[in-house]
Amino acid sequence: MLIQEIEYRNTNSFSKLLVNYTGNGEEFRKLINNFPEINSFENQINLKSKNYNNKFRKVLIDVISNNYNDEYLSNIQKDNISKLRLKNTFTVTTGHQLNLLTGPIYFIYKIITVINLCEKLKKKYPKYNFIPIYWLASEDHDFEEINHFFTNDKKFKWNTNQSGAVGEFDLKSIKNVIEDYTKQIKNSTFYDDLVKIIDKAYLSSSNLSEATISIVNNLFGFYGLLSIDANNRKLKSIFCEILKKELEYNIVDDHSKLSITNLKKSGYKIQANPRKINLFYLKDKKRERILNDGNIFLTKSGEMSWSLNQIKKEVDNYPERFSPNVLFRPLFQEFILPNICYIGGPSEVAYWLELKSVFDSQGITYPIILNRNSVLIIEKKITKFLTKNKIDIELLFESEKFIKDTLLKKYSNLKLDFTELKGRLKKQFLDLKKLSEKTDKSFIGALSAQEKKQINGLNKLEKRLKKAESKIHSDKIDKIIKIRNKIYFDGKPQERIINFTEFYKLHGPNFIKLLKDNLDPLNKKFSIIEL
Domain ranges of the chain: 2-238+325-378+506-530, 415-472
- Strand 286-293 with 279-283, pairing: antiparallel
Number of helical (H) and strand (E) elements in the chain, helices listed first = 22, 17
- CA separation for the pair 437, 358 (Å, rounded): 69
Q: What angle do CA 166, 99, 71 make, to 5 degrees?
A: 80
Of residues 105, 112, 117, 183, the one with CA closest to residue 150: 105
Q: What is the pLDDT along the chain (531 residues), one digit of tens a residue?
A: 898 999 999 999 999 999 999 999 999 999 999 999 999 999 999 999 999 999 999 999 999 999 987 789 999 999 999 999 999 999 999 999 999 999 999 999 999 999 999 999 999 999 999 999 999 999 998 899 999 999 978 999 999 999 999 999 999 999 999 999 999 999 999 999 999 999 999 999 999 999 999 999 999 999 999 999 999 999 999 999 999 999 999 999 999 999 999 999 999 999 999 999 999 999 998 999 999 988 899 999 999 999 999 999 999 999 999 999 999 999 999 999 999 999 999 999 999 999 999 999 999 999 999 999 999 999 999 999 899 888 899 999 998 889 888 887 776 554 545 566 666 666 766 656 666 666 666 666 666 777 677 767 666 666 666 565 555 456 778 888 888 988 887 778 999 999 999 999 999 999 999 999 999 999 999 999 999
- Give the other-Cβ count within 10 Å of 207's Cβ: 17
423, with CB counted inside 10 A (0-12, 13-18, 19+), is: exposed
User: ∠ CA 199-205-207 to the nearest 5 degrees?
Assistant: 125
Residue at 89: amino acid letter: T
**What distance separates the 2 farthest-apart alpha carbons in the chain?**
98
User: Between β-strands 148-151 and 286-293, what pairing exists: parallel, antiparallel or unpaired?
Assistant: unpaired
Residue 383 is classified by DSSP as H
Helix residue ranges per DSSP H, 226-328: 233-237, 240-249, 251-265, 308-317
Helical spans, DSSP H, in 412-522:
419-438, 443-472, 474-487, 501-507, 509-518
Q: What pLDDT was estimated at residue 439?
A: 65
Q: How far apart are CA 246 and CA 49, in angstroms?
A: 25
The reported pLDDT for the residue numbered 442 is 61
The pLDDT of residue 445 is: 66
Q: Are 507 and 529 in contact (CB under 8 A)?
A: no
Rounded Cα gap, residues 141 and 168, in angstroms: 10
- How far is 174 from 376, CA to CA, in rounded Å? 30
Position 27 scores a pLDDT of 93
Residues 188 and 192: their CA atoms lie apart, in Å, by 9
Say how far apart CA 519 and CA 112 lie, in whole Å.
8
What pairing do the DSSP bridges indicate for beta strands 339-344 and 89-96?
parallel
Distance (Å, whole) CA 96 – CA 230: 12
Q: Dihedrals φ, ψ of 331, to 5°?
A: -65, -45
Query: What local confidence, expressed as pLDDT, does residue 453 receive?
Result: 72
End-to-end, the C-alpha distance of the chain in Å comes to 7
Kindly report the number of other CB atoms within 10 A of residue 491's CB atom. 9
Q: How far is CA 122 from CA 92, 94, 112, 320, 504, in A?
A: 12, 18, 16, 35, 29
User: How many CA atoms lie within 13 Å of 18's alpha carbon, on the beta-carbon side?
Assistant: 24
